[in-house]
Amino acid sequence: MENYALAGLGLLIVFNILISLVIYKRNDFETFQKVAQIVLVWLLPVIGGAGILIFYKSIDKPIRKPESFAKRTEGSSSWQDEP
C-alpha cells in the first residue's frame, strides 16, 4: 500500500513539473500571469493542472471565419434574384 502512495505522489510531482514547464514556455502571458498559474498548479495539484490545460486548449483553438450570411446559392428564390 505504501508503494502505491509513493508512486501516486511521484506521478503527481512529475505532472506538476510538466505543467509548470508548459506554462513557463508560453509566450502569450505576462510574467505575473505565469507565476500565478504555476502557483495555482502547485496549490491545487490535479484540478489546477487540468484546468490550466483545458484553458490553454480553448485558447489555442483556431477561430473559424464565419461564412457570409448573405451567400447566394444556385437555385435560390430570394428577392435579390429578380431583375
pTM, entire model: 0.66
Q: What is the pLDDT along the chain (83 residues), one digit of tens a residue?
A: 789 999 999 999 999 999 999 999 999 899 999 999 999 999 998 899 899 989 998 888 776 776 666 655 565 555 555 55
pLDDT at 34: 94
51 by Cβ neighbours in 10 Å (0-12 / 13-18 / 19+) ranks as: middle
Domain assignments of the chain as residue spans, ordered by start: 2-60
